[in-house]
Structure 1
């Protein structure tokens, strides 16, 4: 049974359409088609070999961008159902939110952004839009996946209004022909996807950090009071649980607490604002889906612990340095020798050191998986002096 949508949900019947006109499907709504197109695209499959935190993790249980995206989608769909949002649009945005990430996690983005500064920089959110509208090639008549306005708006604005001046390159181009109203808040579905991302990565990164033994249960309990309370409740209910089960149960309870808090706070804000439809919700001037003040403080404390003990742990920092070097070397090589790119990329290049060539090289490298980037690096530089730009 399809749950009833709230008045302020994004209605697929009222979609603003797609960049390129298409005949409607007889069996799927526009937002179901958006979700399906994302799941079937090449960039989504590549997320299975892209890092969440660890670079090319050896452990089979460590999360990748793909598993993270699926976890975000699961949490988002649950919240969407409880709030009466469109579940399919929510899921589509959640599944697409990390498509623009480079190999080697955030370090890859940092490296590309630094080296692309003379050519407009690099941003993973803008790269996701670039993939969805430019780089995926699956149709004979146009590039991109031809998603709905609502799906593109959600991907672009899931973290809130875009205040950048100037706008990132791809967003500027897309927005000129398909106004995404970048200065307003996104619809309810994108807001749900964004907070589900926060819920997922905080607790699943903690889980991965404990699995990798970057820190102990005792250390995180001592530093983060609400995590301590979760483990204490598990220990009261169960005696002598195996360590992996104990961690999993604590994480499950922590996620449940955050979801419950989000639902209560969102319902409070929605009742206060009384948006009559999706347009009124976008124009409300504030986020409708958010943590309460108390939960926001608890989330901040967990983030601070993870930053100090995981994202900047010595072992992770060593991998970060390796990732920065690999991305930098590959970019310099292909910027200097664009004729060495695969044909589909080579044809878009104007010549060495050209801005169009630089963006094409960035697109190519950003699409690499961790292991492919490693292989390319070894193939190009094994036994040679590293290339530097003069």
Structure 2
């Protein structure tokens, strides 16, 4: 069986790996010169199993309005003349209630927990290195109101068997000793002990090499111009360099760019690009640097230790397919690292980056089959692509190969959007 995978980010590469392990001949197409060079390139580095939640949640609309007026705000919305943007936003608002949140989170956690359990096996089998650590995530609260508000999250974490610890100020310092220098800036935290950290791009590159050893062909520098359909099936993927690439089955793992090839064939996938920013800087003093991941609850910024580097990521900007990295784009993330770990890294030597996250209005990715019997989807993971990569890649690969997936696809497919040809 020959399978064509569209996209060589972390989702496409993990899917290709599991397909090849299952005996398929796999071809991966990507417009970049190598793997993991777009959304996977410089994300937060969090494997956020405990923080797997949809953005669409009760109270978020009110919070979003407040964020828009913060000096160092976590959210920017540019009012574009875009029916797609406004429709997506309206759909997201309909999910900002208790009932929808419970359903959507349960679907997301199903994938996240499966990914959490799958990653150690993959690492043990391949031996790949990716600056990984297993010291959890510390959600840091600057105010007592945030601390009290976390009780609802604690109940949900307990419901979904996600281990955690509630920490006072001294407990936070015990977990992250460098925070002792700024103890007056926070009151406590919530430590998610099952979370891990690691460089998503290093992982993607290393796994691509292992996949190539299994016979996976990576065709880089190939822009996908469209999907060809004949007699109700996908007949091939048209590229600008090789022309039409054919196979027995096809997997779309193009992240935020999936709609550009799916819309023309009648699959109007509600995935919208939400822009995020990060900076990466060298560690200058190990004792003063973070040891794992700290999530600043006020600014929604993650600070992650990746080997001898610190990755600081955050901000959500709704601005269409813009990849512009403006002069002040990283102000918020640079402020947070200076505020919490002022002696840990050299901010003057930062590398700035921006990327587009493929967001669905309900937060849940879109996996599995389509009305075309030989076309499958693995996209829409939002900010959790790295977290869900192994689980969604393994499950989709099983489905493509005709095996019984180990998790249910109920509520994960296109069917929940009533998309029909």
Q: Report TM bin, short chain.
A: under 0.3
The higher relative CO (CA closer than 8 Å, separation ≥ 6) is in 2
More strand by share: 2
TM norm structure 1: 0.27
TM norm structure 2: 0.26
